[in-house]
Structure 1
């Protein structure tokens, strides 16, 4: 069975799973399911950095260290993490990637994204802002750092941390960090 070039392009575009082809972490192509998942138009995603779908630039920068060894060794990488839609909503996602250039893993790679239910200990009655804060807590950020990233006051972030601690039934910030980090990192 052989396919014409147009059929392959149509198949990629209409695939029922969110797919993106990246060149050096820039979206070279993406399909309609990817655009729908991240609530953007394909044209608004293509040619732009994958950083736009991460909760913050620091998360985007940090994840590459975790990707490189598996991509070089096996050509594949997969994990679960928070991602961000264009309207700022943070959601739990399974990300799987395969490099097409093993010598330079990020030169050309294909990625799939699948929205997952938020892990039970992070779900329940967590508000969108509490999820944002939990994501940053998992990265070891202080309330002051989180406040700056989210455009909030440090006192507001502390309030969100306290509510997270109550909802997740932990006694202190160290337990909160450990619980969230164990699941997100």
Structure 2
């Protein structure tokens, strides 16, 4: 019965060991393209938009604040076809002290709620911190940039997302209705 629940869960599930896919379910394969067997022993890095993004997320999981054994975020992932899409990712490590040893991860395609917009790494950082409610001055201090530079990045984000004001941008970035 447990195998049926895993295989037919309505959300993509994958068991990872040291960031290598050991097993995935039907919905995971449908989300990323192909069949579950196509993912046996695949590096999860192959489903990230860039190696830089893969390393960034890996570094986050090593930070003290994320060593709870659980992690969740919304990020851009890459299908096997190369298409980028927004994905809600949640994971739980079997051993919080070694987050990459073995974990179960869920992947839900949320691209219908959010368009994929090409962002520079700095724009992505500013967007994430903006969604966390930080002011331009607070973001500037955190990134060691002037608040005017942050305002410039925010202006680019407003334009890229077709938002008129900051609350509308945040709504678009988080997928929340206005």
> Which TM-score bucket, shorter chain as reference?
0.5 to 0.7
Structure 1 residue ranges without an equivalent (≥5): 1-6, 141-161, 171-178
Alignment pair present for 1:96 and 2:90:
yes
Measure, in 2, the Cα distance between the counterparts of 1:78 and 1:14.
Answer: 22
Question: Does structure 2 retain, via aligned residues, the 8 Å contact 1:70–1:76?
Answer: no
Alignment pair present for 1:52 and 2:43:
no
Measure, in 1, the Cα distance between the counterparts of 2:4 and 2:32.
Answer: 20
Structure 2 residue ranges without an equivalent (≥5): 127-155
Task: Kindly state the Cα deviation for residue 134 of structure 1 after the two structures are TM-superposed.
Answer: 2.2
**Which TM-score applies when normalising by structure 1?**
0.63
Measure, in 1, the Cα distance between the counterparts of 2:7 and 2:14.
Answer: 10
Once structures 1 and 2 are overlaid, which stretch shifts more, 18-27 or 110-119? 110-119
Relative to total residues, which structure has the larger helix share, 1 or 2?
1
Alignment pair present for 1:29 and 2:23:
yes
> Residues 133-183 of structure 1, C-alpha deviation per residue, up to 9 Å, x if partnerless?
32655269xxxxxxxxxxxxxxxxxxxxx9x9466368xxxxxxxx79xx5
Question: Does structure 2 retain, via aligned residues, the 8 Å contact 1:75–1:102?
Answer: yes
Question: CA distance change for structure 1 residues 76 and 42 in 2, over 3 Å: closer, same or farther?
Answer: same
Alignment pair present for 1:111 and 2:105:
yes
**Which TM-score applies when normalising by structure 2?**
0.65
1:153 corresponds to which residue?
Answer: none
Task: Kindly state the Cα deviation for residue 116 of structure 1 after the two structures are TM-superposed.
Answer: 1.3
Measure, in 1, the Cα distance between the counterparts of 2:3 and 2:163.
Answer: 49
Question: Does structure 2 retain, via aligned residues, the 8 Å contact 1:76–1:97?
Answer: yes
Alignment pair present for 1:134 and 2:119:
yes
Question: CA distance change for structure 1 residues 87 and 135 in 2, over 3 Å: closer, same or farther?
Answer: farther
Question: CA distance change for structure 1 residues 119 and 12 in 2, over 3 Å: closer, same or farther?
Answer: closer
Superposition map of 1:147-162 within 5 A? none
Question: CA distance change for structure 1 residues 104 and 84 in 2, over 3 Å: closer, same or farther?
Answer: same
Count of residues in Structure 1 that have an aligned counterpart in Structure 2: 138
Q: Report the 3-state secondary structure (helix = DSSP H, G, I; strand = E; otherwise coil) of the residue aligned with 1:93.
A: strand
Q: Report the 3-state secondary structure (helix = DSSP H, G, I; strand = E; otherwise coil) of the residue aligned with 1:48.
A: coil
